[in-house]
Every structure is written in structure tokens, then in C-alpha cells.
Amino acid sequence: MMKLEKRQIRMISLAIVAFFVLSVVGIAMSQSGSVSHAAAAGSGSVGVVNYDMLVSQHPDYTVAQKSFEDEVALAKKDFDAKAATMNDKEKQDYYMQIQERLQLKKASLLGSVNDKVTAAVKAVADAKGLAIVIDKGNVVYGGQDITDEVIKKFK
């Protein structure tokens, strides 16, 4: 039996993993093409929403936005106070940490709004018997626009 070095084993393993991943992607791509044709054929069961507008119209969005703006102001004040004693590299590192923290905060604040919007979209879609609801920005033609009905669901 042939002895292989660790490097050779690693290269073979990576090749196998790459082949597997490419196979899965290829299968997924071939399947998604047939699904989109089936969805287009039944355009009566496809709903369309302007998701960005739904999020911005949700009552909790203004509260989340205000909270995020307060967090940004606090982070700026904190950075300005601490940056005075830092060198350029430390400032850059600290700035990146603050940016990461702000991104996590925004995701957490908007996460609940997105969940509520998605639940409202699902409720309207279920009531109308829609199998699929997609964002209006991804639609060239067709679909039933349910954006206004979802906004009414918020109230």
C-alpha cells in the first residue's frame, strides 16, 4: 500500500469536498430552473410585495430606527472620547469594533420588525391562497400585489 503525506491527503480531501460542493450546487441550479417555470405557469398563486416599504411602514420600525440612531450617537460620543488617546492603528481597530457592534444592534432591532412583517405577509398570503410571495423588485411581470393588504394587517 502506498503511503501518503499529510499534504497529499489534505489536497485529495479538498478535491473531494470541492467536487461534492460543485455537484450539490449543480443539482440545485438544475432544480431551481424547473421550479421557476412551474411557478410562472401558476402566476395566480404568486404574491408580490414591496418588502422594503412594508418594513418602513410597520409601526415598530420608527421605534427601532430611533433606538438605532441613539445607539449610533452614543457610539460616536464613545469613540470621540476614547480616540483622543489612541494612535491611528488603535483608532482603526476600535472603529471596526464599534461598526461590528452597531451592525449587530441594527440586526437585532430590525429582526423583530422583519419577523412581524413576514408573519403579516404569511397571514395575507394564506388568506388569499397564495403559494409563493416574492419581493416586487425581483418581478418582471405578473403576480398579485398584496402590499396594501399587508399594511392594513399592521393596523
pTM of the predicted structure, to 2 decimals: 0.58
Give the mean pLDDT of 136-143.
Answer: 86
d(CA 84, CA 112): 36
> Could you tell me what percent of the chain has a pLDDT over 70?
78
d(CA 50, CA 64): 20
Q: Which residue has the higher pLDDT, 15 or 124?
A: 124
The predicted-structure confidence for 100-111, as pLDDT tens digits, reads as follows 999 998 888 888
Cβ contact 60:113 at 8 Å: yes
Q: Domain 6-26+44-154 is in which class?
A: alpha beta
- Examine the pLDDT at 59 and tell me if it is beyond 80: yes
The predicted-structure confidence for 40-56, as pLDDT tens digits, reads as follows 444 468 999 999 999 88
